Amino acid sequence: MNTRNVAEKIWDCFNIAALAVIASLMLLPFVHIFAVSFSSLEDVLQKDFILWPSHWTADSYRVIFQSRPFISSLGVTVTITVLGTLVSLILTTSMAYALTRNILGQRVILLMIIFTILFNAGMIPVYLVVKSTGLINSLWSLIIPGAISSFNLIVIRQFFLNIPGELSEAALIDGANEIRTFCSIILPLSKPALATFALFYAVGYWNKYFEGILYLNDARKWPVQVVLRQMVIMNETTSTLGSDVLLQFENQPPPVTIQMAAILVATLPILILYPFLQKHFAKGVMIGSVKG
C-alpha cells in the first residue's frame, strides 16, 4: 500500500510537471504575438523572436480601433455567434436525439448524414440554393446554410446514447411525450456535451469568413474576420511565381506589429468563452451513465 502511494505521488508530480511544460509550449506563440503587437516595428525587425516588448507602444491597436468598419463588424459577428449557436444547438440536439430512438428510416438517415461529411457539394451549387431560398445579402446566410454540422450531430448522438435508456423510458411510461422527455431529462443530463458543442459552434460562427464574402453584397454586413483580414491581408500563401513584382507591391501588407494586434483582437473575445463554459465540465454531472 505504501509503495503504491509513493508511486502514485511520483506519477502525480510527473503529470503536473509534464502538463506545465506542454502548456507553456502552447502558450509561447501567444506571448510572442502579444509582445510583437505592443512593440515598435524596429524592435521586432532586429530580433528573431521577442517574448516581451522592450519599448511598449499601443500604436497598432490605435490603428485598428480607429477604423469604423471594424467596430460595426464586431457587432455583426457577436449577433451571428449568439443567434447561430442557439439555432445550431436546437436543430442539432433535437435531430440527434430523434436519431437515438429506434424509428423507421433511422439507419438511412444516419447514412445520409455521414455521406454529407464525405462528399462536399461545392461552392456554386450551394450558392445557387442559398440564392433561391432568398438568403443572399441577409445575415441568415451565415447561419442557415451551415446550421447543422454533420460531425457534431453524430458525436452528440453518441453522447445521448451513453445516457442510460431507463431514464427516458421511465419518463415515457409516466406519460410524458418524447419532446418533454428530451427537454426535461436528456438535455439537463447532457450539460457537458451541450457546453462542448456550444463552444464548437460558437467558434465556428466567430470565425465565419468565406460565407461572409460569398453571400453578403453589402460590406456593412461583413463579419469581423473579413474586415480584420482586409486590414492586415497577408499574401504569403499566394505564390509569387513569375515574380510580377508590381503585383506584389500593389498589396504591401501593413507592418507585422499591426498584423499581430489584429490576430489578438480577432481571437481574444472567443478565447474568453472557454473558461466560462468550463464549470459545466465538472465531474459527475450525469448520474450512473457509464455504458457497458
In the complex, minimum distance from the CB of residue 38 to other proteins, in angstroms, rounded to a whole number:
16
Which cell numbers hold the place of 10? Answer: 511520483
Please select the residue that binds other proteins; options are 74, 114, 167, 187, rule is CB under 8 A: 114
Residue 248 CB partners (closer than 8 Å, separation 6+):
235, 240
281: contact with other proteins by CB under 8 A: yes
174: contact with other proteins by CB under 8 A: no
Please select the residue that binds other proteins; options are 62, 107, 169, 184, rule is CB under 8 A: 107
- Number of CB atoms found within 10 A of residue 281's CB: 12
Segment 134-163, which members bind other proteins (CB under 8 A)? 144-148, 150-151, 153-155, 158-159, 161-162
In the complex, minimum distance from the CB of residue 83 to other proteins, in angstroms, rounded to a whole number:
16
In the complex, minimum distance from the CB of residue 168 to other proteins, in angstroms, rounded to a whole number:
11
21: contact with other proteins by CB under 8 A: no
Cell 423507421 sits on residue: 104
110: contact with other proteins by CB under 8 A: yes
Euclidean distance between CA atoms 48 and 46, whole angstroms: 7
In the complex, minimum distance from the CB of residue 19 to other proteins, in angstroms, rounded to a whole number:
5
Euclidean distance between CA atoms 36 and 155, whole angstroms: 39
Euclidean distance between CA atoms 275 and 108, whole angstroms: 39
234: contact with other proteins by CB under 8 A: yes
Backbone angles phi, psi at 284, to 5 degrees: 75, 20
- Number of CB atoms found within 10 A of residue 248's CB: 12
Report DSSP letters for 49-98, one per residue.
--SS-SS---HHHHHHHT-HHHHHHHHHHHHHHHHHHHHHHHHHHHHHHH
Residue 146, sorted as left (phi over 0), alpha (psi -120 to 50) or beta, turns out to be alpha
101: contact with other proteins by CB under 8 A: yes
In the complex, minimum distance from the CB of residue 107 to other proteins, in angstroms, rounded to a whole number:
5
269: contact with other proteins by CB under 8 A: no
Please select the residue that binds other proteins; options are 58, 82, 123, 170, rule is CB under 8 A: 123
In the complex, minimum distance from the CB of residue 33 to other proteins, in angstroms, rounded to a whole number:
8
126: contact with other proteins by CB under 8 A: yes
Query: Please, is 42 exposed, middle or buried when counting C-beta atoms within 10 Å of its C-beta (0-12, 13-18, 19+)?
Result: exposed
Segment 39-78, which members bind other proteins (CB under 8 A)? 40-42, 45-46, 48-49, 66-69
Please select the residue that binds other proteins; options are 57, 79, 138, 267, rule is CB under 8 A: 267
Please select the residue that binds other proteins; options are 74, 78, 91, 187, rule is CB under 8 A: 91
Euclidean distance between CA atoms 212 and 202, whole angstroms: 16
CB 80 within 8 A of CB 140: no
CB nearer to other proteins: pick between 82 and 158: 158
249: contact with other proteins by CB under 8 A: yes
Please select the residue that binds other proteins; options are 143, 226, 261, 262, rule is CB under 8 A: 226
In the complex, minimum distance from the CB of residue 82 to other proteins, in angstroms, rounded to a whole number:
19
